[in-house]
């Protein structure tokens, strides 16, 4: 059987080894080493220009690396043309053939590869995405969400060892996007293929992926399970990009085997040693807004909690499931607090004086102390990079 007709029964490992990608006057990817295990749902998360889409295009064969190697299932595919790779891509635009029926769209790739019984396999793929009942319709007769599922069926039916998802849900409305997040995860588990999902949407990445890699300026800043990255970010960029964080600069005043103690505006802030990247000098520590509690009076001193205050509430936003407070604390800046709405209406009001507390075990210490995100500007979008490459030819 030729390499273009290989019909994968399961996903394959993806290995990027020393990958670098340079465009004229700009390095999109520095030096990237990455292993994605077979059968996993892996998300590359980051802002515009961080290198995530360039990475996906390199894996698909739509771009050539300046340096490094790409292996799929242990086989070097760096020099293979896109159609020779066991890879399929689902784009945000869907790219369905308007003159073909839904069934013909899904069977198209199978016919080109001369795979046996393409119609039956296309029906199976449509059943997987619950659209077999519209097999005879044209794409224009479908909703956006249905078109997205047809594009997914068309990719999955080819049984690629690796399925690439390039912001596939970006064009959908919020409710449908959340529904499709769940469906994509179920489909990935059912078919057992390896999914590489590129997105700038943190909720999307955390909802679907087993492993998330946060990219920044052409390199992976941190990688791990979604809950690990959220609960224990290691850099300012990850702490700010993946959710919201309150960050404080504290001066370390002492430490034990278990904890590092710092001074903040005359008070004490403690971070568990296992949860901090640094333990001396000036350290940036953080806590997520939903971990904080508001108090009308100063809480009693307790070694298990950190206390900041007093401060004054400068903004109150009621958003249904929670109320978001902005509290101005002298020496600590504006602190965000997300309080679950357990009572009818906000528990505190604009102008109130409050103290803030949170459990020491929810505190994290970061490896750097840059208080800006460091994201690249939109000038380095994929479209701009492609234009630069064309101009250079």
pLDDT digits (tens, 9 = 90+) for 44-101: 999 888 889 899 999 999 999 999 999 999 999 999 998 888 888 887 677 788 898 9
Same domain, 38 and 144: yes
Question: Are 149 and 131 in contact, with CB atoms under 8 Å apart?
Answer: yes
Q: How confident is the model at residue 1 (pLDDT cuts 50, 70, 90)?
A: very low
- The string of pLDDT tens digits covering residues 343-355 is 765 678 899 999 9
Question: Are 212 and 228 in contact, with CB atoms under 8 Å apart?
Answer: no
Strand order in the sheet with 305-318: 293-295, 353-359, 305-318, 322-329, 333-340
Same domain, 218 and 269: no
Q: How confident is the model at residue 380 (pLDDT cuts 50, 70, 90)?
A: very low
Same domain, 144 and 287: no
Same domain, 108 and 172: yes
Poorest-confidence range of 227-231, 263-267, 359-363?
263-267
User: What confidence score (pLDDT) does residue 4 get?
Assistant: 38
**How many domains are there within the chain?**
2
Q: How confident is the model at residue 214 (pLDDT cuts 50, 70, 90)?
A: very high
Report which of 280, 259, 281 is spatially closest to residue 270, judged by C-alpha positions: 259
DSSP calls for 279-328: -SSEEEEEE-GGG-EEESSPPPP-TTEEEEEEEEEEEEEE-SSEEEEEEE
Examine residue 236 and state whether it is found in any structural domain, yes or no.
no
Question: Are 365 and 272 in contact, with CB atoms under 8 Å apart?
Answer: no
- CA distance linking residue 151 with residue 89, whole number of Å: 9
Same domain, 282 and 219: no
Same domain, 201 and 272: no
Q: What is the DSSP letter of 99?
A: T
Q: How confident is the model at residue 340 (pLDDT cuts 50, 70, 90)?
A: confident
Q: Is the pLDDT of residue 168 over 90?
A: no
Helices (H), the chain: 52-60, 102-112, 118-128, 144-156, 174-191, 202-208, 226-231, 236-241, 382-392
Mean pLDDT of all residues in 274-297: 93
Poorest-confidence range of 99-103, 151-155, 174-178, 205-209?
174-178
Report which of 160, 157, 187, 150 is spatially closest to residue 88, judged by C-alpha positions: 160
Examine residue 392 and state whether it is found in any structural domain, yes or no.
no
Q: How confident is the model at residue 383 (pLDDT cuts 50, 70, 90)?
A: very low
Q: Which CATH number do you get for residue 141?
A: 3.40.50.300
Examine residue 292 and state whether it is found in any structural domain, yes or no.
yes
Question: Are 54 and 21 in contact, with CB atoms under 8 Å apart?
Answer: yes
Same domain, 216 and 299: no
Examine residue 385 and state whether it is found in any structural domain, yes or no.
no
Same domain, 168 and 269: no
Question: Are 294 and 354 in contact, with CB atoms under 8 Å apart?
Answer: yes
Examine residue 285 and state whether it is found in any structural domain, yes or no.
yes
Q: What is the DSSP letter of 223?
A: E
User: What confidence score (pLDDT) does residue 8 get?
Assistant: 52
Same domain, 160 and 278: no
* pLDDT > 70 in the chain, percent: 90
User: What confidence score (pLDDT) does residue 346 get?
Assistant: 63
Question: Are 270 and 306 in contact, with CB atoms under 8 Å apart?
Answer: yes
> What does the mean pLDDT of the chain come to?
85
Examine residue 386 and state whether it is found in any structural domain, yes or no.
no
Question: Are 52 and 46 in contact, with CB atoms under 8 Å apart?
Answer: yes
Q: Is the pLDDT of residue 191 over 70?
A: yes
User: What confidence score (pLDDT) does residue 248 get?
Assistant: 92
- The string of pLDDT tens digits covering residues 107-139 is 988 888 788 888 888 988 888 888 888 889 998
Query: In angstroms, how far is CA 150 from the centroid of its own chain?
Result: 24
Q: How confident is the model at residue 196 (pLDDT cuts 50, 70, 90)?
A: very high
Q: Which CATH number do you get for residue 289?
A: 2.40.50.140
Poorest-confidence range of 3-17, 106-120, 264-278, 317-331?
3-17
Q: Is the pLDDT of residue 305 over 70?
A: yes
Question: Are 80 and 87 in contact, with CB atoms under 8 Å apart?
Answer: no
Same domain, 166 and 207: yes
Place of tokens 């702490």: 239
User: What confidence score (pLDDT) does residue 48 get?
Assistant: 85
Same domain, 358 and 273: yes
Question: Are 12 and 63 in contact, with CB atoms under 8 Å apart?
Answer: no
Q: Is the pLDDT of residue 9 over 80?
A: no
Neighbours of 372 (CB within 10 A): 8
Q: Is the pLDDT of residue 392 over 50?
A: no
Q: Is the pLDDT of residue 374 over 50?
A: no
Examine residue 138 and state whether it is found in any structural domain, yes or no.
yes
Mean pLDDT of all residues in 322-337: 92
Task: Provide the domain limits for residue 306.
Answer: 244-365
Report which of 173, 230, 238 is spatially closest to residue 207, judged by C-alpha positions: 230
CA distances from 43 to 52, 70, 162, 202 (A): 10, 18, 13, 10
User: Tokens representing 331?
Assistant: 């020496």
Question: Model's pTM, two decimal places?
Answer: 0.81
Question: Are 255 and 261 in contact, with CB atoms under 8 Å apart?
Answer: yes
Query: In angstroms, how far is CA 393 from the centroid of its own chain?
Result: 33
């Amino acid at each position: 059987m030729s390499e273009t007709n290989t019909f994968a029964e399961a996903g394959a490992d993806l290995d990027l080894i020393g990958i670098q990608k340079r465009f004229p006057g700009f390095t999109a990817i520095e030096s990237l080493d990455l292993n994605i295990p077979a059968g996993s749902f892996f998300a590359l998360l980051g802002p515009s220009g961080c290198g995530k889409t360039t990475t996906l295009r390199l894996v698909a064969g739509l771009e050539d690396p300046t340096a490094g190697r790409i292996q799929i299932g242990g086989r070097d595919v760096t020099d293979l043309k896109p159609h020779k790779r066991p890879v399929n891509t689902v784009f945000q635009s869907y790219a369905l053939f308007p003159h073909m029926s839904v069934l013909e769209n899904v069977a198209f790739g199978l016919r080109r590869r001369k795979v046996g019984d393409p119609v039956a396999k296309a029906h199976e793929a449509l059943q997987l995405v619950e659209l077999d009942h519209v097999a005879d319709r044209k794409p224009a007769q479908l909703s956006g969400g249905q078109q997205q599922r047809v594009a997914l069926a068309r990719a999955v039916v080819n049984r690629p060892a690796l399925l690439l998802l390039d912001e596939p849900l970006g064009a959908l409305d919020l409710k449908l996007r959340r529904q499709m997040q769940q469906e994509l995860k179920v489909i990935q588990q059912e078919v057992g293929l390896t999914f590489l999902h590129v997105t700038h949407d943190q909720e999307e990445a955390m909802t679907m992926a087993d492993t998330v890699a946060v990219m920044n300026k052409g390199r992976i800043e941190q990688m791990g399970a979604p809950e690990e990255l959220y609960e224990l970010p290691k850099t300012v960029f990850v702490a700010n990009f993946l959710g919201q964080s309150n960050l404080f600069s504290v001066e370390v005043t002492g430490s034990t085997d278990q904890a590092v103690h710092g001074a903040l505006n005359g008070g004490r802030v403690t971070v568990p040693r296992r949860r901090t990247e640094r333990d001396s000098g000036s350290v940036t520590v953080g806590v997520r807004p939903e971990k904080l509690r508001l108090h009308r009076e100063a809480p009693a001193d307790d070694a298990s909690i950190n206390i900041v205050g007093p401060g004054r509430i400068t903004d109150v936003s009621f958003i249904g499931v929670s109320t978001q407070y902005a509290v101005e604390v002298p020496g600590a800046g504006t602190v965000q607090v997300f309080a679950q709405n357990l009572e009818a209406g906000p528990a505190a009001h604009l102008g109130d004086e409050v103290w803030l507390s949170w459990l020491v075990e929810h505190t994290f210490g970061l490896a750097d102390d840059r208080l800006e995100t460091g994201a690249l500007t939109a000038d380095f979008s994929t479209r701009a990079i492609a234009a630069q490459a064309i101009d250079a030819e």
